Amino acid sequence: MNGHDSELMESVLISSGFQRVDSEAAANIVILNTCSVREQAEHKAIGRLQQLARRKALEKNFYLGVSGCMAQNLGLELFRRVPALDFAIAPGSIYAIGEVLKRLEHGEKQIFLANGDIETFAEDDTNFCRRKITRVSAFVTIANGCNMNCAYCIVPKTRGRETCRPINNIMHEVQFLVANGVKEIILGGQIVNFYGIRKIPFENGKSPFVQLLEKIHTIDGLERIRFLSPHPSGFRDDLIRSYSDLPKLCPHVHFPIQSGSDRILRAMRRSYTRRMALEILGNLRRSIPAMAISTDLIVGFPGEMEEDFHQTEQLFNEIDFDMAFIFKYSPRAGTSAAAMGNQIPKIISEERNQILLKRLAVTSLRRNQLFLNSHQSVLVEASSAKDPRILWGYTPHHKKVFFPAPEKMIGKIVDVKITRITTCALTGTLASE
């Protein structure tokens, strides 16, 4: 989402009359778009801001700003830590970036905009029309913020309450992207599958998110739809059915399960149980047998006993994940988990992390083996940095494929025969265009 927020700010700035330059040295406005999910990221950003602040002393027309989660999390404290800072804008207010710069030009100092200070998603917003399209796959924000309260997560504090973007405005952006060569869109938000849940009524048993998927599916020229990140509790039958009803919806689900132990899920304040999660995953694989499933897992959450970890291990074995992002829990100031007793020693988290990583190497390889000698349609993204004669792209199951082909294939969907697999990628030869 941060990458996409940077693109949005660029669009707003260009429409406000600013220009993009090729290097930081040539810029007279530098904005650091920040992440707060780990404390380490904030320390790095402050260090970088302090370095950049030296330019303020030397250049009269140089403006320095911060956007993103750190702006909301630290607020006015940021100006104390970096006195040369000109502005700080929370994620929900980034659309006001052009206005903020104009206010600075008129002599205002140290401007701070928090989440909620401006309307995040205006019905008539057209800033997306200035998006610089660099890839055949594009991210489209449909919601921002989160109303959940997971014990380990700072996001509700930094991105604020959930807001959702009007359907028509999303449709206009997707139509614009497709008209400009985009073939795949990734619908994004903190919990995408809760999209509009409090604002838009269900229709024929279909949630607002499924209604949105169906609308987007009708756009001619759009080939693939993905979404990120969903919440396990939002996988109701209507969404599961969409995978068979909507051919453009790619057969890959990211399902952030976090733990296999009910006791830990409760402590994390996740709103589902192990049984519910297994049932949903079973239904997904029954509906699309080769469905690729990736997940997020946290090991070493406060109070995680051997038995809890064992349950995560068992669940991990049962599901055969295609991919997993396994995090060693680290306390994040400002979250309730940071104040919990029973913090797990780092050495134990590391051990558990290694156990799951080893297991993942086996399951990823086994899942990738399913594709050996098959033909896959690959959306070609770019040429390899190491060898420009090799192109790469993704299959509908989100498997990265490398294959030799001429550069003119970039942006197309091609048929590739898979001849070799590893744990993290497939290799093949071009079968036809």
Give the residue with the Cβ less far from ligand SF4, 148 or 290.
148
Biggest CA-to-CA distance, the chain: 65
CB within 8 A of 342, min separation 6: which ones? Answer: 302, 303
* Minimum separation from the CB atom of position 292 to ligand SF4 (A): 21
In the bound state with ligand SF4, the residue whose beta carbon lies nearer, of 295 and 364, is 295
Give every CB contact of residue 179 below 8 A, 6+ residues apart in sequence.
221
Which residues 6+ apart lie within 8 Å of 28 measured at CB? 59, 61, 62, 63
User: Phi and psi at residue 98, in whole multiples of 5°?
Assistant: -60, -45
Shortest approach of ligand SF4 to residue 27 CB, angstroms? 32
On the CB side of 418, CA atoms within 13 Å amount to 22
Helix axes 97-105, 2-15, angle to 10 degrees: 50
The residue (of 63 and 272) whose beta carbon lies closer to ligand SF4 is 272
- Residue 409: left if φ>0, alpha if ψ -120 to 50, beta else—which one? alpha
Closest approach of Cβ 150 to ligand SF4, in Å? 3
Q: In whole angstroms, how close is the CB of 146 to ligand SF4 at the nearest point? A: 3
Calpha distance 217→254 (Å, rounded): 20
Nearer to ligand SF4, 127 or 158 (CB): 158
Euclidean distance between CA atoms 398 and 412, whole angstroms? 16
Nearer to ligand SF4, 206 or 231 (CB): 231
- Residue nearer to ligand SF4 on the CB measure, 151 or 378: 151
Residue type, 199: K
Q: For ligand SF4, which is the closer residue by CB, 157 or 217?
A: 157
Least CB distance from residue 142 to ligand SF4, whole Å? 15
Residue length of the chain: 433
Neighbours of 222 (CB within 10 A): 18
In terms of CB distance, is 287 or 336 closer to ligand SF4?
A: 336
Q: Which of 285, 313, 280 is nearest to 297 (CA)?
A: 313
Pair 228, 190: CB distance under 8 Å? no
Kindly state the smallest distance separating residue 153's Cβ from ligand SF4, in Å: 3
Let me know the angle formed at the C-alpha of 173 by 168 and 176, rounded to the nearest 5 degrees. 125
Q: How far is the CB of 222 from ligand SF4 (least distance, A)?
A: 27
Smallest gap from Cβ 191 to ligand SF4, in A, equals: 5
| Residue closer to ligand SF4 (CB basis): 150 or 426 | 150
- 271 or 383, CB closer to ligand SF4? 271
Shortest Å distance, C-beta 149 to ligand SF4 = 6
Measured between alpha carbons, how far is residue 54 from residues 62, 76, 83, 214 in Å?
10, 20, 11, 52
**Nearest distance from residue 148's CB to ligand SF4, in Å?**
4
Q: Site residues (CB under 6 A) for ligand SF4?
A: 146, 148, 150, 153, 155-156, 190-191, 231
- Token output for 380: 């070609």
SS (H, E, C) 107-140: CCCCEEECCCCCCCCCCCCCHHHHCCCCCCEEEE
